[in-house]
Amino acid sequence: MSILDKAGRYELREELGRGAMGVVYRAHDPVIGRDVAVKTMHLSEAGTGMSREELVSRFQTEARAAGLLTHPNIVVVFDAGEEEGIFYITMELVEGRSLQTMLDGRQVFSLPRVMRLMEQVCSALDFAHQRNVVHRDIKPANLMLTSDDTVKITDFGTAKILQIGTAQTSHVMGTPSYMSPEQVKGKPVDGRSDVFSLGVILYELMTGEKPFPGQNITTVIYKIINEDPIPPRSLDSTIHPGLSAVITRALAKEPSARYQTCQELLDALKHYHDATSADTTARMPYGKVANGQGTRVAHQPVRPSSPAPSAPVIAPEPMSPFLAMPDERQPPKRSSRIILTVILLAVIGYASYRVWPPLVDIWQRMHEPTQTAEPPVNAPPAIPAANLPAPETKSDDAVRPAEPEQKPAPLAAEENAAPTPTATPTPAPTSDPIASGKPPEAVPVSTAVGVPAPPRKPAAPFATPAAISLKSTLGSQLAGISLASKVKLRVTGNTLTLSGKLSSQEHTKILALLHDVPGGVRIIDDIGFADEAR
């Protein structure tokens, strides 16, 4: 087998990549004196119903259509030709790495970076769709990233060119994991097929997983046609519910249910905070799956698009403005289980509400120190009759010595007993309270009937050690990014609630801190969003 070293006037120097659609080489243009990328393809007129001249003409037409796309995020097509049965397209040589290479390296993409990449790709695809050019093979391998994160889309028109040169005109060309349902079925496609492929890429960037995984092509194609993908928020609970809803709509099976243009998808991404209600967004518990429960997403009005003239337009079916997202369609059995679960949780919660306070009260009473009860203020103490002094017969000016305090004697015989020689009375500094007519002073007693118990201290709110530890760690991290004054942390039981007013960028920083949460701890995101300049 001879090694290919030339395509037309271009000198092939090294192989850059190889795939099902052809081989890409780094080549040199001796006329201009520059390096270019040359993609070679083997096309055959056998079984296509076209002569070789017609096949070459169709090839040149599609290459010319791709060459007319002049956009900062689209690789420029310089030339196209055929020599000795080998068709080739000469393109701009992009120094960088493909998005597929980065995903294979398990590189993590932050939300702001994903938004910047999607803005460039949506802008380029919308530009091409307005000129009736559909890519048909949007995938990470065809998205090149330069050193400054500029996106360059390659292989415009290649999928259609290869479809022209296959033995069966209905043969499906493209990468299965990123193909739309209508493309898998061999139906005519328009720009909404690229919207679906872009939704697959967005899903993979946000979750690190493909929406339609499978061990073989047959399994992947079956899932694309028949199964709805798992909502992104089910795989990563830090993804905003609105963003999850936008991605889910981009992956709708029917083209009429998707975003009708890439610009419409981009607008939804920029305003994903408004895709769900504020109450659902702020109070979605961490680690729980929304899965359509209690969340209804209103679709944006469908804008008409300008489809390619070569592809027949499928009339969109009437849609309700409050049509539920695909992940909201639950079977009746699952709805019944949900209702039973809610009822069971309500019973458990009510029982806890009734039983918990008495248990706390008993525990506090067991651990509280015994306190001496005091009689009410300004109330005279109860003095036994046996302790009252006997009436005096002396004159008023005689000073009666105060008798020592004695315990009440229970027997009458003891009242008449003579005082012992050791009991020596001491003079009282004040006059006899009974003789003077003044009420006796309050005497503290050890016990008193009817005296109210001292007030109990309120029980401290229950908090698990894991939640307290998470609050301390998160508080330190917020202080490190200067957000401690804007975010209030509150622990109740095993739940940590975040509240405050932040911008979307600040909210993203906080979400990045919540990847490692101890087991058994819930997080309630009660953050409000401050107004930002769009």
The pLDDT of residue 285: 36
Is-contact 68 21, C-beta < 8 A?
no
Residue 44 tokens, joined? 């055959």
What pLDDT, in 10s, does the model give residues 88-122? Answer: 889 999 999 999 999 999 999 999 999 999 999 99
Residue 137 bears catalytic tag: yes
CA nearest neighbour of 527 among 509, 492, 506, 501: 501
Going by pLDDT thresholds of 50, 70 and 90, the confidence category of residue 527 is: confident
Going by pLDDT thresholds of 50, 70 and 90, the confidence category of residue 531 is: low
Least reliable range by pLDDT among 158-172, 233-247, 346-360: 158-172
The pLDDT of residue 469: 85
Is-contact 223 177, C-beta < 8 A?
no
- Region 505-523: mean pLDDT is 79
Going by pLDDT thresholds of 50, 70 and 90, the confidence category of residue 8 is: confident
Regarding predicted confidence, which is higher, 405 or 412? 405
Inform me whether the pLDDT recorded for 422 exceeds 60: no
Most confident of 30-34, 256-260, 285-289: 256-260
Going by pLDDT thresholds of 50, 70 and 90, the confidence category of residue 5 is: confident
Query: To the nearest whole percent, how much of the chain has pLDDT over 90?
Result: 32
Mean pLDDT estimate for the chain: 74
C-alpha angle 471-473-476 in degrees, rounded to nearest 5: 105
> From CA 119, how far away is CA 123, in angstroms rounded?
6
Pairing of strands 34-42, 522-529: unpaired
The pLDDT of residue 163: 55
What pLDDT, in 10s, does the model give residues 29-50? Answer: 999 999 999 988 877 666 566 6
Secondary structure letter of residue 292 according to DSSP: T
Coil/strand/helix, residue 424: coil
The pLDDT of residue 167: 42
Inform me whether the pLDDT recorded for 349 exceeds 80: yes
Least reliable range by pLDDT among 23-32, 273-282, 453-462, 469-478: 273-282
Inform me whether the pLDDT recorded for 224 exceeds 90: yes
CA nearest neighbour of 451 among 373, 377, 378: 373
- Region 482-493: mean pLDDT is 84
Among 126, 137, 190, 194, the one annotated catalytic: 137
